[in-house]
Structures are given as structure tokens and as C-alpha cells.
RNA sequence: GGUAGCGUGUCCGAGCGGCCUAAGGAGCACGCCUCGAAAGCGUGUGAGCGUGAAAGCGUUCCGUGGGUUCAAAUCCCACCGCUACCGCCA
């Protein structure tokens, strides 16, 4: 949720943000109206309650002969309070609804526009010119005995796979390297639950426009998370954090589950777009004034990892219309995928400012000891999809794949993955 | 899954229809005392919302949600969690 005070003091900023996202600026005015009527309802209910409380106490002290008359009056007051409280509840619900519908206020640095309006911040490395027979990641993975899509489909259906042998090893190595880099940077490793309650899912803003992306276990009223961002955010729900010693940083390792509804026919080959994958995700709780700096830090760590994987990539500043509902600004790192002759997203880091924290009621104490809303940020440190870029960029004409040096210590010193057929 | 007990403020813990505006203790903060400290003494000690320039005032919060009542931490119901025992099980 966005800051109500900001909306009251500077509604134009909120309207401008809505326009940049391609959303309805009138939603801001509906929020203001709902806010005003809630405040009126609260004042009315408070006043009646105060009256009832004082009056109720007098009944207890009254003499037996005075009681019947007082009780009649008491009953009437109770009915009035009841009515006022109902009105208060309704007004509160209307305010919450109007409040939640508005996405985070975008950063003034975020490029306006839609999916195609991103700004490329930089390129790192040159797309490699491959010679000889060039294989895509699936062909390479199958040749190495690393990826088995057919059996994935047999066992679980489309968009499922087995990582096997060096494929499984490669993923372990990559994720372990990610965790060790996170540790070196002061992150606390975390293995979270991947099944969460509806309110945990809701808090991150994942049940809004993209609710059909999420797997739900109806029998148990639980959701499978699409990223460990969900449990790492819900982890500190309703808490007042101590950020006096600096940000709190976690690196979550989890499987992630996505329905990929509406992506029929897109990326059907291989493991680029799958229903289940593994990921190491960074998550930071910071003071709002530190959020931009933390965002740069997360981006730098993503770039470091891509560098260690020896991949050519570019960094883009995502446009307002392509931001998630919680994000004010988002940077994606996209690695070159030779057989697609395209850059594909490998990491994504979002600055969610106080938006998620406000939904989850996560605060910290400022210098004066007063609770204030915290800011949250997240970013990818490694995922299964990276295997696509690693295999394709480091392939050799004979179908073998050179292991990036940084991964070798995590693979028993293995330097080259050799085809098994 | 079954049965029983328990869920109170930062922590421990009392309260079991109106005097709860939640006892008492610990912790913490400040002050006094002291050369300094400890001890002792005194004062203060949460969050949300509303209102106000502020101090303040009002209101909500005793696991969560309902209910009974003029009035609920207190009575009733459901749910969640913890603990113990039983059953089942990788």
C-alpha cells in the first residue's frame, strides 16, 4: 500500500505515478474520498463509545429502583454504538479496498511507458561468436545427460524436467556459490517454507492482477510460492525491527512454482520457462532513505555473479508499466542467449520502498525511537534459468561445455562437462 | 488424527462480569545519592487510529474471529498456536 499521508499531502504525485504506469489516476481521488469518510465514521463511533462507557459505569453504581430506567437507556445507547461501529467497519473496508488497488508510486527515475520502453543502462562483455555446430541449451543438456525434459513431461507434464548428473551438480554449484557470495556480503542464508497462508501471499501483492500465476492448494488453503521473496517478507510481518546497526539481509534458497498461465506457446523448449525451479533470492529490510543505495548494492551483487559465470549481459531499467505492483523501480540483468540471438532475463531486483512493508506492517525505530515503515528490496542471485546461458555460452563444437572457473570448486574441480552420447 | 491443559504488556506473572484507566516483580531510561560505580530511593516506561500547533484528550488492542450482556481479559462457541500423553507414519 502507498503512503496515505503522501496521498493527502501531494495527490498529484500519486496521480502522476498512476499515469506513468498506464493506470487510472481517478483511483487516487476515490482513495481520498474513502479516507475522508472513514475518518468521519471513526470520530462518530469514538464519541458514542465514550458516552456508552461512562453511562454504563453509572448503572453498576445505581440503586435497584433506578436500574430499570437506566438499563433501557443503556440498551438504546448500545444499539447506537452498534450501528456506528458497523458504519466504521464498512468505511474501513472501503478505504482498504481503495488503498490496495493502487500500485506503488514509481520512482521519478523510472522510465515512463510500457514493456518496450526500458532503458539499457549498460552492456558487459561481448556476445560471443560461436563457430562450428551451435547447439541450444536443451540439445547440450541432453547430450551431457544434464537435462531430461521427456521424462519431466512423462512424470509431471509440460514445463517440468529433471536435472540429472552434471545438470544437478551445476545447479548445486551455482546456488552454493550464490549463497557463499551472499554470506560474504553479510546476508543471512535462509531456507523458507514454500507453502504459505493466503495472508502471506497477499502481503507481497501476489494475489492481485497476477493471481492466476499462483498455485493454490485448495484443500489446505495454502499457496505454493513463486519466489522466496514471499516467505522472507512475511517472516517479519507485524514486527518492529532494529535497523540501528544497518539493514537486515537474507538470502533465501527455495524452489519456486509458477503456473505460467497465459504463456502458452512461449519458450516451450527446454528450461527457460518452467513450472518449478530453484533460486537464491536476496531480500533486504532497510530504512527508506537507504533504499536506493541498497538497490545499487543488490544490482552490483547480481552483476558480480553474472561476471563469475563469465556471461555477456546487459542491465536494463524497467519502464513504469512493466513494474510489479510493489516496485518503485526495477533493474533486470539479461544474459546473451546465443541460439536465440537475444538477451534473456536472468536477474531482477526491485526496490519496493515502503509498499510491501506497509501491507505487512513491518516497521523499525527511527533515531527518536518512533516506529516507522521499513523499506524492502529483493534481487535474484541465481536461478535454474542461468543454466541455459551457461551451457550455451560455454559450449564447444564437440558438445562439451567449459565450466566457469568460479563453479569448479563446487563441482569437485570439474573443468569440462563431457557429452555422454 | 484423539484427549487434556495453557495462550495477559519487553519479559515473568496476578486477575476469572462493572473499582482493569491490567496488581506485583524483572528489565530498560532518566534523576537523586556517590570521587566513580554497585546497592538504595524516586519518576517514567507499548502499538494503532482520530483530534490538536503542541501538551493533551478520545478510542481500540489481554492468541484470532464470532456470540451473550447496559457492561467481557473475565462467560459461551469456533479456529490457530504451544505443551503433555495416546494413535499413525517417512
Residue A81, nucleotide of least CA–C1' distance = B70
Q: Does domain A4-100 have CATH number 1.10.490.10?
A: no
Q: List the A363 CA – B54 C1' distance (angstroms).
A: 25
Give the model confidence (pLDDT) of A60-72 as tens digits.
766 666 777 778 8
Give the model confidence (pLDDT) of A336-381 as tens digits.
999 999 999 999 999 999 999 998 889 988 887 788 899 999 999 9
Q: List the A369 CA – B41 C1' distance (angstroms).
A: 28
Give the model confidence (pLDDT) of A103-138 as tens digits.
999 999 999 999 999 999 999 999 988 878 899 999
User: Which strand B bases fall within 7 angstroms of a protein CB?
Assistant: 18-19, 47-51, 58-60, 70-71
The full set of domain ranges for chain A reads 4-100, 115-417
Q: pLDDT at position A47, please?
A: 86
Please say if the pLDDT value at position A261 is more than 90.
Answer: no
* Mean pLDDT on A181-201: 91
Q: List the A242 CA – B29 C1' distance (angstroms).
A: 18
Mean pLDDT of chain A: 91
Q: How far is CA A168 from CA A144, A151, A235, A273, A384, in A?
A: 11, 15, 29, 17, 10
pLDDT band at A43 (very low <50, low <70, confident <90, very high): confident
If one compares A221 and A392, the residue with the highest pLDDT of the two is A392
Predicted ipTM?
A: 0.83
Q: Which sequence positions of A are flagged as catalytic?
A: 258, 273, 345, 348, 385
Kindly report the CATH class assigned to A115-417: alpha beta
- Give CB contacts under 8 A, 24+ apart, made by A46-54: A48/A77, A48/A80, A48/A81, A48/A84, A49/A81, A49/A84, A49/A85, A51/A77, A52/A77, A52/A78, A52/A80, A52/A81
Q: List the A187 CA – B6 C1' distance (angstroms).
A: 37
Strand B contacts (Cβ < 7 A) comprise: A 39, 42-43, 45-47, 49-50, 52-54, 56-57, 59-60, 71, 74-75, 77-78, 240, 363, 369-371
Amino acid at each position: 500500500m502507498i503512503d496515505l499521508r503522501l496521498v493527502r499531502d501531494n495527490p498529484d504525485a500519486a496521480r502522476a505515478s498512476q499515469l506513468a504506469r498506464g493506470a487510472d489516476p481517478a483511483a487516487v481521488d476515490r482513495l481520498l474520498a474513502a479516507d475522508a469518510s472513514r475518518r468521519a465514521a471513526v470520530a462518530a463511533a469514538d464519541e458514542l463509545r465514550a458516552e456508552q462507557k461512562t453511562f454504563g459505569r453509572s448503572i453498576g453504581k445505581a440503586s435497584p429502583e433506578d436500574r430499570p430506567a437506566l438499563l433501557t437507556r443503556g440498551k438504546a445507547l448500545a444499539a447506537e454504538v452498534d450501528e456506528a461501529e458497523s458504519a466504521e467497519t464498512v468505511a474501513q473496508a472501503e478505504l482498504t479496498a481503495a488503498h490496495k488497488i493502487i500500485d506503488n508510486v514509481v520512482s521519478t527515475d523510472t522510465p515512463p511507458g510500457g514493456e518496450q520502453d526500458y532503458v539499457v543502462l549498460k552492456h558487459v562483455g561481448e556476445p560471443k561468436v560461436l563457430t562450428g555446430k551451435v547447439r541450444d541449451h536443451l540439445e547440450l543438456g541432453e547430450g551431457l545427460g544434464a537435462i531430461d525434459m521427456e521424462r519431466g513431461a512423462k512424470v509431471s507434464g509440460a514445463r517440468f524436467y529433471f536435472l540429472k548428473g552434471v545438470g544437478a551438480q551445476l545447479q548445486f554449484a551455482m546456488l552454493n556459490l550464490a549463497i557463499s557470495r551472499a554470506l560474504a556480503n553479510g546476508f543471512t542464508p535462509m531456507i523458507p517454507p514454500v507453502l504459505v497462508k493466503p495472508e502471506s501471499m497477499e502481503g507481497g501483492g501476489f494475489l492481485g492482477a497476477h493471481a492466476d500465476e499462483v498455485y493454490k492448494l485448495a484443500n489446505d488453503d495454502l499457496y505454493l510460492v513463486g519466489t522466496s521473496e514471499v516467505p522472507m517478507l512475511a517472516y517479519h510481518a507485524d514486527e518492529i525491527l532494529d535497523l540501528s546497526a544497518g539493514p537486515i539481509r537474507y538470502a533465501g534458497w527455495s524452489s519456486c512454482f509458477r503456473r505460467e498461465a497465459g504463456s502458452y506457446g512461449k519458450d516451450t523448449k527446454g528450461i527457460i520457462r518452467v513450472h518449478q525451479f530453484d533460486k537464491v533470492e536476496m531480500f533486504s529490510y532497510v530504512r527508506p532513505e537507504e533504499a536506493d543505495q541498497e538497490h545499487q548494492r543488490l544490482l552490483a551483487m547480481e552483476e558480480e555473479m553474472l561476471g563469475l559465470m563469465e556471461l555477456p549481459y546487459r542491465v536494463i531499467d524497467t519502464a513504469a508499466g512493466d513494474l510489479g505492483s510493489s516496485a518503485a523501480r526495477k533493474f533486470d540483468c539479461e544474459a546473451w542467449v546465443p541460439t536465440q540471438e537475444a538477451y534473456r532475463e536472468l536477474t531482477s531486483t526491485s526496490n519496493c520502498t515502503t509498499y510491501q512493508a506497509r501491507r505487512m506492517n513491518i516497521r523499525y525505530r527511527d533515531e527518536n525511537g518512533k516506529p516507522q515503515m521499513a523499506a524492502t528490496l529483493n534481487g535474484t542471485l541465481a536461478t535454474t534459468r542461468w543454466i541455459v546461458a551457461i551451457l550455451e555460452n560455454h559450449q564447444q563444437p564437440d558438445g562439451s561445455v567449459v565450466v566457469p572457473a568460479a563453479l569448479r570448486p563446487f563441482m569437485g574441480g570439474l573443468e569440462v562437462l563431457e557429452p555422454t552420447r
